[in-house]
Amino acid sequence: MRRDAFQAIADPTRREIIALLSKEALNLNTVAENFEISRPAISKHIKMLTECGLVEIEKRGRERYCTAKLEPLNEVAHWVQQYRRFWEGKFDAMENYISKLQAKDQKNPQ
Amino acid sequence: MSTENKTSANPVIVERTIDAPVEIVWQAITDKDRMKEWYFNLEDFRPEVGFEFRFPGQGRKGESYLHICKVTEVIPLRKLTYSWNYQGYEGMSKVTFELTEESNRTKLKLTHQGLETFPKHPDFSPESFMEGWTGLIGTSLKNYLEK
């Protein structure tokens, strides 16, 4: 299974965890308290997020603090942007083509 | 949550208003002889549910990516949807064209969903297809129109 930003954001709970942590670092228990699903389930999600590079865990005394690392999300934005540019380019070409077609029709009315 | 649009898998949506009636724009996206002037050169295209078509794209290193598409929805002059996948690669996406006429102009909305399911390595990028195709289209379009 892939371990990248795309994989990370595919799940809605993980998206919520990232949103939560992007505001402040929280210890694992506090994160779990924000959700109705079980603690082990939250731990699994956080594990996936660390494997995907979006969350880092550091030990502070006996607690484990989770920090969001948002840089990998730029990868998602950049990659999706490429498709946007691709389509914008195609539609530029379509508009050009159509306006030339219509200019031709005006020159040679049928 | 304010980070929602950064983290959720959003589709690409492109909207344009084209200075032409809806019939012209519909033809541009469904008539293969017109499609080849700005889009892709297809052997055949029919706006019919179930119609399958394929066309090549070239990656950055000259390798070939075959697009495999199948029409899934047609409302003549209003909507056209097809699946858009790559042969030999994981992932499935869907492209939808929606047309609305407004006083002899056409609002065109393109939605491309499912992009997050495709492989992400740099060679596999629509940008590399674009380099190949916009060059081709730019030159051949120019030649065609200036005859």
Are residues A64 and A46 in contact, defined by beta-carbon separation less than 8 angstroms?
no
Q: How many domains does chain B have?
A: 1
The answer to whether position B123 is within a domain reads no
pLDDT above 50 (res B136): no
Q: Residue B43's domain is classified under what CATH number?
A: 3.30.530.20
Integer Rg of chain B from CA: 16
Does residue B121 sit within a domain?
Answer: no
Identify the CA nearest to B16 among candidates A104, A99, A79. A99
- The answer to whether residue B116 neighbours chain A at the CB level (below 8 Å) is yes
State the average pLDDT over residues B11-35: 93
Q: Residue B50, by phi and psi: left (phi above 0), alpha (psi -120 to 50) or beta?
A: left
List the single range of B19-23, B37-41, B48-52, B134-138 with lowest mean pLDDT.
B134-138
* B143, part of any domain: no
Rg of chain A (C-alpha set): 23
Q: Residue B26 belongs to what domain range?
A: 10-115
pTM of the model: 0.66
B133 in a structural domain: no
Domain range A5-68, CATH architecture: Orthogonal Bundle (1.10)
Task: Tell me whether residue B122 is in a domain.
Answer: no
Question: Which of these, B59, B25, B63, lies nearest to B127 by C-alpha position?
Answer: B59
Give A85→chain B minimum CA distance, Å: 8
- Please report whether residue B108 resides in a domain: yes
Question: Is B3–A22 a contact, with Cβ atoms under 8 angstroms apart?
Answer: yes
Walk along chain A (110 residues) and give the pLDDT tens digit of each residue: 667 777 787 778 888 898 899 889 999 999 999 999 999 999 999 999 999 999 999 998 999 999 998 888 777 777 777 788 889 999 999 999 999 998 887 777 65
